[in-house]
A and B are shown apart, each in its own frame.
Chain A
Amino acid sequence: MHADAPMRAVILLVDDDAGDQELTRRAFAEAPVDLRIVSDGAEAIDYLRRQGNHAVDAPRPDIILLDLNMPRLDGREVLRRIRADAQLKDLVVIVLTTSDQDVDARACYALHCNSFITKPVRVETFTAAMHEIGAYWFELATLPPV
């Protein structure tokens, strides 16, 4: 892990699907990760701006795992708002979606996501993907300094 990084990396999962929340929770169960979960785009924005129900205890995430199709505010709009916000625009955003459509990938990269990943079907592959994300962003890459 990078020298300047906090002891436990914070990952914010933005996903409305209880099953995917559970899968991600279990994938990171044994990792030194503080996994925070919000259920839709509007709540994600509240969390990142520390407002509404997230005024307290909302540590700035090191990476955001963002689902695309969500109620109220979808993933694309969340990404757009993050990149338009001076305080948040440096955040690492990984789009994690069921979609394998080119059009979605293209749209997300156009909105400057850091990576676009289609959720793997097998649980082993899913867990491995989560670990690889952790290994890449927390060990190999240098995250933007806070």
Chain B
Amino acid sequence: MKLIPCILAAANVPAQEMGFASDGWLPVLADLAAGSAFIGIAVLLVFFLCRHPDVPFRPLFALVSLLIGIGGAEHVLDASTTWWPVPALALVLRIATAIAAWGTVLVILIVLPRALALPGYRDVVHRLEAEIADRRQRENILRNHSAELERRNVALDEFTYIASHDLQEPLRKIVSFSELLEQDLNRNDRGQAVKDLHFISDAAGRMRKLVRDLLMLSRAGRNDVGAERFALRESVDAALESIALTVQEHGANVLIDALPAVVGDRTLLTQLYQNLLSNAVKFVPADRQPCIHVTAERNADGWVFGIRDNGIGIDPAYHDQIFKAFKRLHGASEYSGNGIGLAICERAVTRHGGRIWVESFNGGSHFKFTLANVEEEVCTPTHQCALSSCS
């Protein structure tokens, strides 16, 4: 409480009693404090400039430091005139202050446009955010590319395996039985020669189908998957039309659920149905009438499509590997097929962002698959193609 009167009293002590030329020591102390602080600021600014290489407008900062430093020196000089009055030095300092101040004004005028153009904090943050988003997107693209490369490598491995094994096999038969044919013809063994020819044409037929299916598999794996909007029922109908003869030969009944419209590759999806349907017809024992159900169910996660048959079923042990190329579970003589059909199906479904699997039950299999882009239901109600019903 008594601090202020005390300071005032001290300020009024005659300077002579204190040994000072002026009329109080408080202004001197204030000058000294302000001067040393200014010099301190100037030194710290210069230190900062020297240590931080990224400060923009360095000359301006240097000038401001100089100005503050000179200002500080002026204050110190003011305080010191109490003991050693040096009017010439004081004048020099004042002129230096004026020069430095005007220099600073000029430099500010020069750098102002550039300073105004500097991005604000928010700009920088936005720009950084945009850049991070852009990089993330690029990373995703890269990741997708590398997954695609991986997939293609696997496909290439499969292709090499076929070239080295599956294609060699019929070729070996053709070579062997041609040689035997020659021997048999030389011996005039007509019966055996006809048998040899049968083996040759059988092997050539298998090779032809293998090459055709390989081409299909390669097409199914290519990048350009169509994105056409169409009723899935059209694919089923086209597939049924292409295997009409087989369906007729086996006297198969086909039941088709109402199907929605999809966005995808018409050719691939038709191929998918064609393979699944012809498998369904083929893998029914000769003594049983094939009953095929083209299913479509809508569950909580979306649409599940499928082909259900009353055939021989598939051992659960093989449920995963049947979709790998060239895993044939049945003998060539018993059921025709080279094992590429389901690999094509797997690829067609994967290319449409879906997955394919099989469920086997007593007396048949149910191949099921999903597709990524399925639209609202548009198609016909449950429709029976054949005359009699499936029991």
Is the pair B180, A123 in contact by a Cβ cutoff of 8 Å? yes
Report the separation of the CA atoms of residues A26 and B165 in the bound assembly, to the nearest whole angstrom: 23
Report the separation of the CA atoms of residues A81 and B330 in the bound assembly, to the nearest whole angstrom: 20
Report the separation of the CA atoms of residues A5 and B333 in the bound assembly, to the nearest whole angstrom: 35
Question: A13-34 vs B: 1/0 string, CB under 8 Å?
Answer: 0001111101100100000000
Is the pair B176, A23 in contact by a Cβ cutoff of 8 Å? yes
Is the pair A26, B180 in contact by a Cβ cutoff of 8 Å? yes
**B196 nearest in chain A by CB position:** A22
Q: Which range contains the number of A residues in contact with the other chain?
A: 20 to 34
Please, which residues of chain B bring their CB within 8 A of the CB of A69? 165, 328
B131 at interface, CB cutoff 8 A = no
Is the pair B329, A16 in contact by a Cβ cutoff of 8 Å? no
Is the pair B179, A71 in contact by a Cβ cutoff of 8 Å? no
* Contact of A16 (CB < 8 Å), options: B168, B179, B195, B333: B333
> Distance in Å from the Cβ of A22 to the closest Cβ of chain B?
7
Report the separation of the CA atoms of residues A20 and B177 in the bound assembly, to the nearest whole angstrom: 10
Is the pair A16, B177 in contact by a Cβ cutoff of 8 Å? no
Known A18-B199, A22-B195, A71-B328; judge A119-B172 contact (CB<8 A).
yes
**B192 nearest in chain A by CB position:** A26
Is the pair A17, B332 in contact by a Cβ cutoff of 8 Å? yes
Report the separation of the CA atoms of residues A72 and B330 in the bound assembly, to the nearest whole angstrom: 6
Is the pair A72, B333 in contact by a Cβ cutoff of 8 Å? no
* Contact of A98 (CB < 8 Å), options: B172, B331, B334: B172
Please, which residues of chain B bring their CB within 8 A of the CB of A126? 176
B164 at interface, CB cutoff 8 A = yes
Known A121-B176, A122-B176, A123-B179; judge A39-B333 contact (CB<8 A).
yes
**A99 nearest in chain B by CB position:** B165
Using a CB–CB cutoff of 8 Å, the interface residues on chain B facing chain A are 164-165, 168-169, 171-173, 175-177, 179-180, 195, 199, 202-203, 328-334
